[in-house]
Structure 1
Amino acid sequence: MDGSAPKAWIDEVNKEFSAKHPGVTVKVEEQKWTGIQEKVTTALSENNPPDVLELGNTQTAGYAVTGGLADLTKDKAALGADAWQKSMLASAEVDGKLYSAPWYAANRVVVYDKKAFAKAGVTPPTTRDEWIAGLEKLKAADPATQPIYLPGQSWYVLAGLIWDEGGDLAVKDGSKWKGGLLIWDEGGDLAVKDGSKWKGGLGTPQAGAAMEFYKKLQSYSTAPKDKDEANPQQSTDIVPKGGVASWIGLGWEAGGAEKALKEAGKEADFGYFPIPGKTADKTSTVFLGGSNLAVAERSKNKELAKEWLALAAGKDQMTKYAAETKGALLPNQAAANFTPAAGSFAEAMGKAGVNGKITPVTAGWANVETEPNPIKEFMTKVLKGEDAAKAGAEADAEIAKRINK
């Protein structure tokens, strides 16, 4: 995919592969993310699909259950699966079978203006309580500046708060799933199993508790309650205009903000810290967005494809990959981690990434995220004063309808 693999790294992988297989040519075609699900679906149904392809980690299950991906379970040892990070491996398996190799992941951290924090006498917090106390100081030090820019529909942030409570977006309860926005920080999830089919769970006390903390954070922001972080894009449309002491974003967003500030004749002086957890000994759980590498079931070069996959996803090449991307993306195994510069985004991301999770591994989950996203609507309703249990019940009905398709 566009931006996933540095050319120097791809060339190195192919050079090593070709040395083992003289006469075999590896052709790499770069794709755009826009419209990729439809394109991949079509490609996997044809008789000559790509032998190896990159898939978003939340998309893998959907392609696996339709039979488009090769079952790699018996190839685990050859692929080096024992070394892969368990948090990434979860997205590559469906019902105990392996359908892809985790490749890379990234997660959000808090980006802050060092000057604003210094003026208010605030240091990076390590607990939720310290975080709120710091926001209070920032508010008092400069009423014209938002202590934190946090849109009302940043549901990936909310998900992490749910996980911190021991919950999940979906958990098994018998044989089927049911919805469960018990919100991660409160021990719940966006969906849980119900014995026979999926059922929404946003109307639970756990979801309400998680939303209560999110609501507290959002009270320090003037961001719209009915928008997400991309509308408007916080890093390039909001932060460069000034008046923002901190925000939650990904590495490419931090880089985008720095570039936009420079183009506007301003200087970016950012610091970074993991989203704080309830206690200082553990950062908040975060959503690990990323990609997997899979082999098409209809590949005409399946064994060669598996060898290429083993090489690309192995320790040596993943170590080179991490170095090439300078820690902007987390590799699939800890042994390949790049040692980032002290105080960098990559350092903060790495600290938080060990506590990463993904959305429910089920083909129906993609339907839940389709706009209008019921989780986002739930958040906006609660932020605008609606009872969490009532708003959650409404979201649950929609989640159940979508996830069971």
Structure 2
Amino acid sequence: MTDVNPRRPRIALSLTLALASTALLPGCGVLPGGGDDGGTVKVWLMRGSASDAFMKRFEEDFEKRHGDLDLDISVQEWTGIGEKVEAALKDDDGPDVIEVGNTQVAQYVDQGGLEDLTLESARDLGMEDWLPGLAEPGRYDGGQYGVPWYAANRVVIYNKDLFGEAGIEQPPKTRQQWLADTRRLDSGATQGIYLAGQDWYTLAGFIWDEGGDLAKEKAGTWQGVLDTPAALRGMDFYQQLQALGDGPPDADEEHPPQAEVFAKGDVAQIIAVPGTARAIEEENPKLKGKLGYFPIPGKTAGKPGAVFTGGSDLVVRDGTDERKGAVEVVKALAGEKWQKDLARTMDYVPNKTTLASAVSGEAGVAAMAAGAARGRATPTSPQWAEVEADNPIKAYMSKVLGGGDPAREAKAASGRITKALDATGP
């Protein structure tokens, strides 16, 4: 991609200047940006992100603590949200605070629609403890535009009975032990693991563990890098693991839904978000109480594997007349009190590693939080959505699992990624 934006300050420099600027301000209550005291802050949250009860608790508490501000919270549908947000960012009467997917921030910044929150992030929000998978995609051109709200990521869901029958008393801590245990489980009528051939989010974690990536930016141009030695090692591990079950090589985890496959009772493991367990138990009530969770193992016992982190960031519309109030809303939602409340209410991972204890009582969420500490997100190119629209990573995986040469197929897929990320193309 040709860099059409000439200002590209380094992130570290931007944050250093932000911290230095803090010392010049008379107090944390003084925020840059306009807007008179008081007013109504319009907030868009997404369907399913927070319960009605949570939103009511938050609104009542916020308005009580900020007597000069009113909240107008509306819930939006995920379907078609991209175009709706793009239009709202150009509307002078649009929402002031918007929840967006963590990987969507870059495209909205690139269109010039978001306020830079670097100063507030460094001064008031404890950004040094943010989950990397939420913080990094919220950062663009040296500024912090997206403030992490909540996270979710994949873990291993396993059948305790099948593990017990195979003599496996403790979940594996390393990738090699995971392979060894899965080989033991893959016996007779039991699948060691059900892993679809096109589960590219899981593959991304293995690639990151090896030090590779999906795409890299160099001198303002994004390039696919699936053909690097590190990325190829990640694909090799995926291939070894996927072979220990009957997952289709030419389909993703939703075709058929892996929860339905697991619910039949003859699959020892799947890789999914913990909430998938509810769908499994609804499909097969006999499995209630028989499901366990562990973080995706890493290369060493001391660190879980890298995982793709999904979730949401909070952004502020550029030019809003209620900037001060909007920042107060973001600070509250991203602060410790409401982070703990949201995590316990919705079974999410809080936005900071230091708040993981808030979900320690829930086995699935605790496993998710352990993995989130090493979470990552997709490349921050504003054009990344073009890659996912006709995903060459999925096709690459199927070709390799079908017997294709990994290096040759990776090079071809990398070329397609590079073309999709080229902002100067047709």
Measure how far apart 1:23 and its partner are. 5.8
Cα separation, 1, equivalents of 2:130 and 2:313? 13
Which residue in 2 is equivalent to 1:239?
Answer: 262
Q: Equivalent pairs: percent with the same residue?
A: 40
**Which of 190, 208, 216 is equivalent to 1:163?**
208
Which residue in 1 is equivalent to 2:392?
Answer: 374
**Which of 320, 324, 327 is equivalent to 1:306?**
327
Q: Helix, strand or coil for the counterpart of 2:381? A: coil
Cα separation, 2, equivalents of 1:24 and 1:334? 31
Which residue in 2 is equivalent to 1:258?
Answer: 281
Q: TM-score, normalised by structure 2?
A: 0.84
Q: Where in structure 2 are the equivalents of 1:100-179 lying within 5 Å?
A: 100-122=146-168, 123-140=170-187, 143-165=188-210
Moved more, 282-291 or 296-305: 296-305
Q: Are the equivalent residues in 1 in contact too, given 2:224–2:415 (CA < 8 A)? A: yes
Which residue in 2 is equivalent to 1:65?
Answer: 110
Q: Are the equivalent residues in 1 in contact too, given 2:207–2:232 (CA < 8 A)? A: no
Q: Helix, strand or coil for the counterpart of 2:275? A: helix
1:249 aligns with 2:249: no
Distance 1:224-1:268 versus aligned 2 partners, 3 A rule: farther
Which residue in 2 is equivalent to 1:180?
Answer: none
Q: Which runs of 5+ in 1 are unaligned?
A: 166-186
Q: Are the equivalent residues in 2 in contact too, given 1:368–1:403 (CA < 8 A)? A: yes
Cα separation, 2, equivalents of 1:77 and 1:200? 32
Distance 1:369-1:256 versus aligned 2 partners, 3 A rule: same
1:349 aligns with 2:349: no
Deviations 1:322-377 (A, max 9, x none): 2323xx2111123433444567111211222211111112212221111x201111
Measure how far apart 1:77 and its partner are. 4.7
Q: 2:105 is aligned with what amino acid?
A: T
Q: 1:195 is aligned with what amino acid?
A: A
Query: How many residues are treated as equivalent by the alignment?
Result: 376
Q: Helix, strand or coil for the counterpart of 1:59? A: helix
Q: Are the equivalent residues in 2 in contact too, given 1:84–1:102 (CA < 8 A)? A: no
Q: Helix, strand or coil for the counterpart of 2:341? A: helix
Deviations 1:209-260 (A, max 9, x none): 211111010101111111111222211x322233211100002212221222
Cα separation, 2, equivalents of 1:20 and 1:204? 53
CA RMSD of aligned residues (A): 1.9
Which residue in 2 is equivalent to 1:221?
Answer: 245
Moved more, 389-398 or 72-81: 72-81
Q: Are the equivalent residues in 2 in contact too, given 1:189–1:201 (CA < 8 A)? A: yes
1:44 aligns with 2:67: no
Q: Which runs of 5+ in 2 are unaligned?
A: 1-45
Q: Are the equivalent residues in 1 in contact too, given 2:146–2:314 (CA < 8 A)? A: yes
Distance 1:335-1:277 versus aligned 2 partners, 3 A rule: closer
Measure how far apart 1:4 and its partner are. 0.8
Moved more, 252-261 or 103-112: 252-261
Q: 1:112 is aligned with what amino acid?
A: Y
Moved more, 222-231 or 312-321: 312-321
Cα separation, 2, equivalents of 1:400 and 1:329? 34
Measure how far apart 1:293 and its partner are. 0.7
Q: 1:107 is aligned with what amino acid?
A: N
Cα separation, 2, equivalents of 1:218 and 1:274? 17
